[in-house]
Amino acid sequence: DAGVIQSPRHEVTEMGQEVTLRCKPISGHNSLFWYRQTMMRGLELLIYFNNNVPIDDSGMPEDRFSAKMPNASFSTLKIQPSEPRDSAVYFCASSLAGGSADTQYFGPGTRLTVL
Amino acid sequence: DAKTTQPNSMESNEEEPVHLPCNHSTISGTDYIHWYRQLPSQGPEYVIHGLTSNVNNRMASLAIAEDRKSSTLILHRATLRDAAVYYCILRDSGGSNYKLTFGKGTLLTVNP
């Protein structure tokens, strides 16, 4: 099994540019999560999809952030326009069902630097 | 959300057992106790979880106190590869049971 796949692994962009992060969950999983990790705030959940439908987007920082899941095997997190404070590592995770005993499998992350 | 308290850091020697404590005095009866770890420059990785009884798997053991207000993750023989941040997380069985709320965790250093 390839695990959760994220691309790109590293992204360097300039303030004001659009950034798109991509995620391919583990085949058969119906729950997908986007997390962000910074030194100041640690790991925090941005958005949760179940069966391709956004269930909880309360962690999305502001309107500059948007996430989509057009099908069960692909999700994107878009930042437009990007700002230096968006610099962080963004992780995608997937799980089989999303319940309290369920295991989340994380991808390797995308390290985003906004200059 | 019920919170957990972990030491900021711990140190161990290679091939010795490591006991990583976690306090969760406000745990509710249906909260699961999960442990994840994050190796340097990697995403978090599931280690183990339990509800009431002690649990063992190939990676570690989880010892849960009888009153469930604390738990201990046990690595039976630490290796250099076990150096990571270990997170103790409570997951409720209510409407937000999908959430993993990460705290600061315990940074485990393993000395050769």
Helix/strand/coil (H/E/C) assignment for every residue in A18-63: CEEEEEECCCCCCEEEEEEEECCCEEEEEEEEECCEEEECCCCCCC
The predicted structure's pLDDT at residue B98? 82
Tell me the shortest Cα–Cα distance from A9 to chain B, in angstroms. 11
Residue of A nearest to B92 (CA): A100
Q: What residues does B21 pair with on adjacent strands?
A: B72
**Average pLDDT taken over every residue of chain B:** 93
A42: left (phi over 0), alpha (psi -120 to 50) or beta: left
Contact B98 A101 (CB under 8 A): no
Q: Tell me if chain A has a CB within 8 Å of the CB of B57.
A: no
Interface check B39 vs A, CB under 8 A: no
Q: Establish if B31 touches chain A: CB-CB under 8 angstroms.
A: yes
Q: What is the pLDDT of residues B73-110, one digit of tens each?
A: 999 999 999 999 999 999 887 667 788 889 999 999 99
Residue B2 pLDDT exceeds 70: no
pLDDT(B1) > 60: no
Q: CA-based angle B23:A56:A68, to the nearest 5?
A: 130
